[in-house]
């Protein structure tokens, strides 16, 4: 499908956290992806992204750990990794991250631990914009779910694994989003009564896991203040198909729609004139 034939929908039907994040970063990128405009494969641009790509390929089973060296050599031959990159050190680093990630995946925190299950919550609300009832299905697929026992009480636990080297505020927000959907999945308007334990495991020896407890009040607050306004804004923009580009050159160069984005292409031309 191309940009001339957008899907004729005026309401957002479903939303996952990565779409919410995409919209808040660049509404245009969200809209192009929503309309299934052809994407180019994303080029890996930096050594950090190259490491993430290698780790992701091995953990997702697309590549074997024995091929790490070969993939890094290919990235260097393609100019993604500068010639002076110490490939031996980088290979060692990749294997270390992969090992930690695999150990974390294997660690059985609870016999009830489940992985990669889809959860849905049909969120309905009174639109602050139109005053009418609105709805949108929130979707999540946490890396792992478990149960944690504290003072004789069983607390549900949601665990995400991050391969990045730095904690980011979006990691915790992703877990809050997952906790909202998990808390209401199949329960219609009844929430789980107690808190949910949120765990971010970083596949790096240098970063300790981040553990938070989110009470139901915190989850409701996040839903009302950070999720609902996004749904309302998307619905409003869908009426006029006005999804502005947010050009940030460092990020745009690895956007899968960069070649089709007039605003980004114009910014490149202006840079070359200056
Ligand atoms: S190239 Fe940049 S501005 Fe254009 S859609 Fe992608 S992220 Fe948005």
Q: What gap in Å lies between CA 168 and CA 164, rounded to an integer?
A: 9
**Among 246, 254, 267, 270, residue to substitute to test ligand 1 (most atoms within 8 Å of Cβ):** 246
* DSSP class of 226: I
Final residue in a domain of this structure, among 73, 106, 139: 106
Residue 2 lies in a domain: no
Residue identifier of the C-alpha nearest atom 2 of ligand 1: 252
User: Do 118 and 204 fall into the same domain?
Assistant: yes
Looking at the structure, tell me whether residues 20 and 68 fall in a common domain. Answer: no
**By the 8 A CB rule, do 123 and 137 touch?**
yes
Residue where a domain stops, chosen among 106, 125, 142 = 106
My answer on whether 67 and 122 are in the same domain is: no
Whether residue 34 has its Cβ less than 6 Å from ligand 1: no
Query: Of the candidates 3, 16, 27, 17, which has an alpha carbon nearest to the alpha carbon of residue 238?
Result: 27
Position 31 scores a pLDDT of 93
Q: Is residue 217 domain-shared with residue 261, that is, in the same domain?
A: no
Please state the φ and ψ torsions of residue 155, each to the nearest 5 degrees: -115, 130
- Do 128 and 194 belong to one domain? yes
What is the C-alpha to C-alpha distance for residues 121 and 268, in angstroms, rounded to an integer?
42
Q: Are residues 216 and 187 in the same domain?
A: yes
Final residue before a domain boundary, out of 106, 125, 154: 106
Q: Provide the pLDDT for residue 161.
A: 80
Regarding whether 216 and 118 lie in a shared domain, the answer is yes
Could you tell me if the CB of 268 is within 6 A of ligand 1? Answer: no
CA atoms within 13 A on the CB side of 23: 21
Is 93 a domain residue? yes
Give SS3 for 106: helix
Q: Which domain holds residue 53?
A: 47-106
> Is residue 65 situated within a structural domain?
yes
Ligand 1 pocket, residue 245 CB under 6 Å: yes
- Ligand 1 atom closest to the Cα of residue 29 is 5
Give residue 26 CA to ligand 1 midpoint distance, Å. 6
Residues 179 and 191 both lie in one domain: yes
CA 252–ligand 1 middle distance (angstroms): 5
What is the rounded distance in angstroms from the CA atom of residue 231 to the CA atom of residue 228?
5
Q: Is residue 1 part of a domain?
A: no
| Ligand 1 atom, smallest distance to 32 CA | 5
Tell the burial category of 125 from Cβ atoms under 10 Å away from its Cβ (0-12, 13-18, 19+): middle
Question: Is 39 touching ligand 1 by the criterion CB < 6 Å?
Answer: no
Question: What span, in angstroms and rounded, lies between the C-alpha atoms of 145 and 110?
Answer: 9
Report how far ligand 1's centroid is from the alpha carbon of 237 (Å): 17
Would you say residue 181 lies in a domain?
Answer: yes
Establish whether residue 37 lines the binding site of ligand 1, counting it when its CB lies within 6 angstroms of any ligand atom: no
On whether both 85 and 179 belong to a single domain, the answer is no
pLDDT at 14: 93
Side-chain half-sphere exposure of 45, counting CA atoms within 13 A? 10
Burial class (CB in 10 A: 0-12, 13-18, 19+), 19: middle
Residues 204 and 258 in one domain: no
Say what the pLDDT of residue 2 is.
45
Stretches in the chain below the pLDDT threshold 50: 1-4, 108-111
- Is residue 58 assigned to a domain? yes
**219 and 258 fall within a common domain:** no
Nearest CA to 101 among 45, 158, 143? 143
30 lines ligand 1 (CB under 6 A): no
The pLDDT value given to residue 254 = 75
Residues 185 and 250 in one domain: no
Residue minimizing CA distance to atom 7 of ligand 1: 252
197 with 210: CB under 8 angstroms? no
> Does residue 5 lie within any of the structural domains?
no
pTM: 0.75
Type and span of the H or E element at 105: helix 87-106
Nearest CA to ligand 1 atom 4: 261
Atom of ligand 1 nearest to the CA of 28: 5
How many domains does the chain fold into? Answer: 3
Q: What angle do CA 151, 157, 158 make, to 5 degrees?
A: 165
**Cβ(198)–Cβ(158) below 8 Å:** yes
In a domain, 6, yes or no: no
Q: For residues 18 and 30, give the distance between their C-alpha atoms in angstroms, rounded to a whole number.
A: 10
Instruction: Tell me the CA–centroid distance for residue 34 and ligand 1, in Å.
Output: 14
């Amino acid at each position: 499908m191309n940009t001339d034939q957008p899907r004729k929908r005026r309401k957002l039907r479903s939303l996952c956290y990565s779409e919410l994040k995409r919209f808040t970063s660049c509404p245009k990128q969200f809209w192009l992806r929503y309309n299934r405009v052809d994407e180019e494969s994303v080029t890996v641009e930096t050594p950090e992204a190259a490491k993430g790509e290698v780790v992701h390929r091995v953990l997702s089973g697309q590549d074997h750990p024995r091929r790490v060296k070969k993939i890094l050599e290919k990235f260097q031959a393609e100019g993604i990794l500068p010639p002076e990159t110490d490939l031996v050190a980088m290979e060692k680093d990749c294997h270390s991250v992969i090992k930690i990630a695999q150990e974390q995946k294997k660690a059985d925190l609870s016999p009830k631990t489940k992985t990669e299950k889809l959860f849905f919550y049909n969120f309905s609300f009174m639109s602050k914009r139109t005053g009418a009832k609105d709805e949108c299905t929130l979707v999540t697929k946490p890396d792992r779910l478990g149960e944690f026992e504290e003072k004789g009480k069983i607390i549900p636990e949601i665990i995400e694994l991050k391969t990045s080297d730095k904690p980011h505020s979006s990691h915790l927000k992703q877990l809050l989003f997952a906790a909202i959907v998990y808390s209401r999945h199949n329960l219609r308007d009844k929430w789980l009564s107690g808190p949910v334990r949120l765990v971010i495991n970083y596949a790096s020896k240098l970063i300790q896991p981040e553990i938070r407890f989110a009470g139901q009040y915190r989850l409701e607050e996040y839903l009302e203040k950070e999720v609902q306004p996004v749904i309302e804004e998307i619905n409003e923009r869908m009426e006029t198909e006005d999804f502005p580009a947010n050009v940030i050159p460092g990020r745009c160069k690895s956007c899968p729609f960069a070649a089709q984005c007039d605003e980004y292409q114009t910014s490149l031309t202006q840079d070359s004139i200056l």
